[in-house]
Structure 1
Amino acid sequence: MPKTIGSYSTSDLSRKSGDVIAEALRRPVTITQRNKPRLVLLNIEDYERLMKRSDRRTARTIETMPNELFAEFENAVEAYAGEDASGR
């Protein structure tokens, strides 16, 4: 992988941390290890903007579902089953 602007190796990060940080304050920087991208270093404003736009939903199982959500789910299933039975 050719080195591009905004891309540094882990060795560069060790030797030139000041330069890498200075660039990361201006734009995201890719950190490579063995010529493969491994990390991205970015300023806090970019990080916060990305986090605000991210989907914070999580996958759960019935066993780990909060009680309030489980009750809502159970009521919805019962209502659906009641509609299905009355529609036949």
Structure 2
Amino acid sequence: MSKSSGSYSTSDLSRKSGDIIAEALRHPVTITQRNKPRLVLLNIEDYQRLMKQSDRRTAGTIETMPDELFAEFENAVEAYAGEDEAGH
């Protein structure tokens, strides 16, 4: 995967963790496993902003997250990544 895409494989995570962390501090980074998006790394400010925007007050996991909420999260990450690429 190309570094500019903001997407890395799980094997990249073990080999390039410093670079990936540095990039994740600037914008969300997708981690793929078997060519499927599995995780998103994002800085704490973005995480806190997403949590404040959420009406949900319970913690959960990706497995228990409702599809609708997961779709909103994906859209927010994609919008943020698009803004970053545009230089905003």
TM-score range, shorter chain: 0.5 to 0.7
After superposition, the Cα gap between the structure-2 partners of 1:51 and 1:57, relative to the gap in structure 1 and judged at 3 Å, is closer
1:29-79 Cα offsets, whole Å, 9 max, x none, are 000000000000000000000000001257xxxxxxxxxxxxxxxxxxxxx
Give 5+ residue unaligned stretches, structure 2. Answer: 59-88
Which consecutive residues of structure 1, in runs of 5 or more, have no partner in the other structure? 59-88
Aligned twin of 1:77: none
For 1:1-88, list aligned pairs within 5 A.
Answer: 3=1, 5-56=5-56
Higher relative contact order (CA 8 A, sep 6+): 2
Root-mean-square deviation (Å) = 1.4
**Aligned equivalents of 1:27 and 1:52: distance in 2?**
18
Query: How many pairs are equivalent?
Result: 56
Identity of aligned residues (%): 88
Q: Find the aligned partners of 2:26 and 2:39 in 1 and give their Cα distance.
A: 17
Question: What is the TM-score when the length of structure 2 is the normalising length?
Answer: 0.60
The one-letter amino acid of 2:22's match is A
